[in-house]
Amino acid sequence: MAVLLCSRTVDPEPWRAAFRAQAPEIDFRVWPETGPVEDIEFILTWLHPPGELRRYPRLKAVLTLGAGVEKLLLDPDLPPGIPIVRLVDRALTAGMSEYALLHVLRYHRQMPELEAMQRRAEWIDEVESPPAWERRVGLLGLGVLGGDAAAKLAALGFQVAGWSLSKKSISGVASYTGEEGLAKLLAWSQILVCLLPLTSSTRGIVNARTLALLPRGAFFINCARGGHVVESDLLAALDSGQIAHATLDVFAEEPLPPSHPFWRHPRVTVTPHNASLTWAPTAIEHILANMKRHAAGEPMSPLVDPKREY
């Protein structure tokens, strides 16, 4: 039995080290040096060459090395009937919550304004921020990442609500579903954080219509995918003051082209798709646990449903 890391972009060394440290008995291989293809039972993948995953006759599962699967699902030649397991990595989850908290707190404490005051060497007495419990934070997506961020924001004292397909029960977090729920959540949210997967239902969900539903002067944080946002609509909303400021980690085109207006917009913070990254030493725990589950005849988790697209 062998495990193959198959990616055009992932540095194999942290994975080699993690397998050596935590599962030295496993024959760990790195594409394109696959060895005999019939040995490969599990493939770890991120941006694999399309069609490649069909070459392995004894493949038991494909395990992703990232949370988003929209690019994986674009491969028209995925091996039929082979389960795809999405990554859940406690370091990735913790890192994403740090990003959400960092930028929510930055808006809550009016840092963009304070930074502008510093640039002008301007001292204004008593710039006041309301207490956290007066601030309403909405999350699009209450899954592994959105759910953790929501719980931590609630623990800080913010009013928190989220939107998902199924109703959630997270302490201190109101749960909305459906089109009506989305409209209610948007009308309520002073700070909106996007942590949805990119699917045909969520592509372009942040657009002129939905941005107009937010309270005037709302803040927007996108740490999910660039495809969730109609960028020209967001720019118009920033320019009209409907959106006071946006923090964007992900873009329709990555790397963000040097001429893109987001780079220099006075009310946009850009980060280079590093809101949170997979951390091999912890991610391997989830991968090994799923391999053990498979060996014990138990279901692996979370399974990607290609029809649902996440």
Catalytic residues: 225, 273
Structure tokens at 115: 């930074």
Give the three-state DSSP class for 45.
Answer: strand
Neighbours of 298 (CB within 10 A): 10
Q: Is 197 in the site for ligand NDP (CB under 6 A)?
A: yes
Q: Which of 110, 199, 207, 269 binds ligand NDP (CB under 6 A)?
A: 199
Residue ranges in 152-171 that form contacts with ligand NDP under rule CB under 6 A? 163-166
79 touches, from ligand OXD, ligand NDP, none (C-beta below 5 to 8 Å by class)? none
Residues 191, 238: Cα–Cα separation, whole Å? 14
Looking up tokens 């502008």, which residue turns up? 116
Which residues within the stretch 40-79 sit at the binding site for ligand OXD (CB under 6 A)?
Answer: 66-68
* Residue 146 in the binding site for ligand NDP (CB under 6 A): yes
- Determine if 100 is a binding residue for ligand NDP (CB under 6 A): no
Helices (H), 109-169: 111-119, 144-155
State yes or no: residue 112 binds ligand OXD (CB under 6 A): no
Give the residue among 278, 146, 307 at the shortest CA–CA distance from 221: 146
Phi and psi at 272, nearest 5°, equal -90, 65
CB 64 within 8 A of CB 307: no
Site string for ligand NDP, 220-249 (x = CB under 6 A): ---xxx-----------------------x
Q: Is 4 in the site for ligand NDP (CB under 6 A)?
A: no
Q: Tell me which residue has its CB nearest to ligand OXD.
A: 66
Lookup: tokens for 297: 């005849």
Query: Judged by CB under 6 A, does residue 150 bind ligand NDP?
Result: no
CB burial of 129-162 (b: ≥16 within 10 Å; e: otherwise) equals: eeebeebbbbbbbbbbbbbbbbbbbbebebbbbb
Q: Which residues bind ligand NDP (CB under 6 A)?
A: 67-68, 92, 96, 141-146, 163-166, 195-199, 201-202, 223-225, 249-250, 273, 275-276, 310
Q: Which residues bind ligand OXD (CB under 6 A)?
A: 66-68, 278
